[in-house]
């Protein structure tokens, strides 16, 4: 299977690098600056799960793509989705599968509209990684997993082919027969985490230690879960139990990556993660919606950031 990894950053570079090291046919679609780094240093991963160096990774620029790929893996930020689509569109043919590892659901609507639903799988990943100044990918903990499936038929023959391509490459790869349910459950968890930690500018443990902190987090979880239920994907009780435990653990240092983006004055995925979830509720947000308050906080940050930068 010919695989095109869109980007070679902290996420795409990590999973794509392990796939390449395992002998899979992986090409990285990159921009000039990243291409220069990869040419000088190779693709380098530093990880508690084992370091990897791919000395000469296969790279391509968008204008050089001359034939379709079998699998296109997409792991960009939501605010880069349109430019990513423009860059990999020449790689999409009649039999191409597009596997996005973005959070939320809005990206599925965008990809469906551009390429057709049959080409677009559901997917999600769990990884904490970052890209150093020299282009080294640093894996920050022991978690590195991808989950994926055919949205129409989770374990279809096409999904089995993707599973064979991704399995046994040094990270956890799992084919799901109910990928949309799992994506919704992750969205509920992530939205609760992002809304609470961004609004409070603090880690879970600090919020829980504050007056009404635990109650605020649980109210957010209930509100997000209710929206998922209204869309036919109510979180399973076992999933909610795990979320409650992780989101209210005393002393926890857990934060959302969106908070880390705010702390370095970077762009955030407010519309994709929180705004789109609010838009999918069965009615308008009530005046006492904690989720709407968190969204207002994020949009105020974006407005101030735009004003400060003169945009």
CATH number at residue 56: 3.40.50.720
- Residue at a domain's end among 128, 162, 177: 177
- Does 7 share its domain with 137? yes
- Does 149 share its domain with 194? no
Per-residue pLDDT for 311 more than 90?
A: no
Q: Report the pLDDT averaged over residues 282-302.
A: 91
What mean pLDDT value characterizes the chain?
Answer: 95
- Residue at a domain's end among 159, 177, 195: 177
- Does 267 share its domain with 291? yes
CA–CA distance, 10 with 22 (Å, rounded to integer): 18
Confidence of residue 282 (pLDDT cuts 50, 70, 90): confident
Q: Which of 88, 62, 55 is nearest to 74 (CA)?
A: 88
- Residue at a domain's end among 140, 160, 177: 177
- Does 44 share its domain with 121? yes
Report pLDDT for 108: 97
CA–CA distance, 204 with 217 (Å, rounded to integer): 9
Residue 299 known to be catalytic: no
Report pLDDT for 40: 92
In sequence order, the β-bridge partners of residue 149 are 122
- Does 146 share its domain with 195? no
Percent of the chain whose pLDDT exceeds 70: 99
Q: How many domains does the chain have?
A: 2
CATH number of the domain where residue 208 is located:
1.10.1040.10
Q: What is the pLDDT of residues 240-251, one digit of tens each?
A: 999 999 999 999
- Does 6 share its domain with 76? yes
Domain that residue 137 falls in: 2-177
Report pLDDT for 308: 83
CA–CA distance, 30 with 22 (Å, rounded to integer): 21
Confidence of residue 284 (pLDDT cuts 50, 70, 90): confident
Least confident of 16-25, 153-162, 265-274: 153-162
In this prediction the pTM is: 0.92
Per-residue pLDDT for 150 more than 90?
A: yes
- Does 173 share its domain with 229? no
- Does 223 share its domain with 275? yes
Q: Which of 77, 106, 186, 299 is catalytic?
A: 186
Contact status, residue 42 vs residue 65, Cβ threshold 8 Å = no
- Does 121 share its domain with 219? no
């Amino acid at each position: 299977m010919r695989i095109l990894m869109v980007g070679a950053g902290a996420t795409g570079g990590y999973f794509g690098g392990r796939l390449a090291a395992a002998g899979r046919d992986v090409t990285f679609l990159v921009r000039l600056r990243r291409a220069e780094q990869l040419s000088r240093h190779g693709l380098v991963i530093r990880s508690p799960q084992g370091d990897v160096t791919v000395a000469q990774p296969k790279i391509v620029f968008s204008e050089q793509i001359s034939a379709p790929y079998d699998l296109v893996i997409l792991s960009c930020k939501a605010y880069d989705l349109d430019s990513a689509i423009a860059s990999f569109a020449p790689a999409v043919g009649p039999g191409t599968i597009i596997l996005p590892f973005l959070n939320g659901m809005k990206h599925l609507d965008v990809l469906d509209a551009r390429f057709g639903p049959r080409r677009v799988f559901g997917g999600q990943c769990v990884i904490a990684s970052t890209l150093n100044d020299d282009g080294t990918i640093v894996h920050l903990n022991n978690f590195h997993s991808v989950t994926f499936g055919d949205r129409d038929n989770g374990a279809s023959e096409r999904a089995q082919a993707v599973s064979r391509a991704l399995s046994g490459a040094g990270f956890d790869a799992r084919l799901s027969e109910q990928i949309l349910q799992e994506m919704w459950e992750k969205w509920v968890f992530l939205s609760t985490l992002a809304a609470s930690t961004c609004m409070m500018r603090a880690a879970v443990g600090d919020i829980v230690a504050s007056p009404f902190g635990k109650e605020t987090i649980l109210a957010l979880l209930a509100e997000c879960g209710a929206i998922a239920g209204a869309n036919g994907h109510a979180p399973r009780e076992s999933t909610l139990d795990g979320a409650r435990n992780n989101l209210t653990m005393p002393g926890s240092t857990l934060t959302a990556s969106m908070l880390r983006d705010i702390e370095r004055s970077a762009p955030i995925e407010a519309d994709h993660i929180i705004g789109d979830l609010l838009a999918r509720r069965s009615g308008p947000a009530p005046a006492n919606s904690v989720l709407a308050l968190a969204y207002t906080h994020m949009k105020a940050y974006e407005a101030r950031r735009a004003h400060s930068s003169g945009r």
